[in-house]
Amino acid sequence: MHVVYPAVVSALLFSIGVYGVLARRNTILVLMSVELMLNAVNLNLVAFDVWLRDRLHGGQVLTLFVIVIAAAEVGLGLAIILALYRNRRTVDLDRLRALAEPGASGPGDASGPDDDSGDGPAPDTSSAGAPRPESLASDTSPVTVPGADAGAPGRDGTTPGTVTP
Q: Is the pLDDT of residue 139 over 80?
A: no
Q: Is the pLDDT of residue 157 over 50?
A: yes
Name the percent of the chain lying above pLDDT 90: 39
pTM score of the predicted model? 0.57
Tens-place pLDDT, residues 77-88 = 999 999 988 988
Tens-place pLDDT, residues 88-131 = 888 888 877 776 666 665 555 554 444 444 454 555 554 455 55
CA distance 35 to 66: 10
Multiple choice CATH, 3-95, 1.10.10.10, 3.30.70.920, 1.10.287.3510, 3.30.110.30: 1.10.287.3510
Long-range pairs for 95-102: beta carbons < 8 A, 24 or more residues apart: 96/27
Task: Give backbone dihedrals phi and psi of 162, rounded to 5 degrees, phi first.
Answer: -115, 145
Q: Mean pLDDT over residues 29-44, rounded?
A: 95
Residue 110's region, left for phi above 0, alpha for psi from -120 to 50, else beta, is beta
